[in-house]
Amino acid sequence: MVPLHVQLTNSTLRRVIKRLHFPLEIMLVCVRWYAAYPLSLRNLEEMMAERGVLVDHATVHRWALKILPVLAAVFRQRKLPVGKSWRVDETYVLVGGHWKYLYRAVDKLGRTVDFLLTAHRDVAAARRFFERAIDLHDVPEKITIDKSGANTAAVLG
């Protein structure tokens, strides 16, 4: 199997990083650490300086804005298929000092079908969530939901 960073150099990422002047491996490490761990951009700047790489926190932020959407698309393509029975729920989480609703669906084996973070818990948000999940994975045979009126209306409508 070809390593992911080799595949990415031959894909869309090549166009995205064309004008960036650091080696791809350094950019990918910074973006991965930023996305995977609760590190600030200034933490990453300091960590890279300890390794002899002088990069500004604003540069790492620009890399994340450019590279993360490409990585998300690649990872979605490589994701294992999900089952035909989904369990869907929503909860609210504190994000940046504001309460947001997190819609999520998992299959019988616990694999994530999809998720959506939104400011509102209403029929439009639930419909948007279900439409995207179905576009990505086809219509499931069974959907188990709570008694939320928004979810019921989105599934039936």
* Helix, strand, coil share (%) of the chain residues, nearest 5: 50, 20, 30
What's the predicted TM-score (pTM) here? Answer: 0.59
Q: What percent of the chain has pLDDT over 90?
A: 32
Mean pLDDT of the chain: 85
CB 25 within 8 A of CB 5: yes
pLDDT tens digits for range 27-76: 889 999 999 899 999 999 999 999 999 999 999 999 999 888 888 888 77
What pLDDT does 12 receive? 67
- Give me the mean pLDDT over the 125-138 stretch: 89
pLDDT at 5: 54
CB contact at 8 A, 21 and 1: no
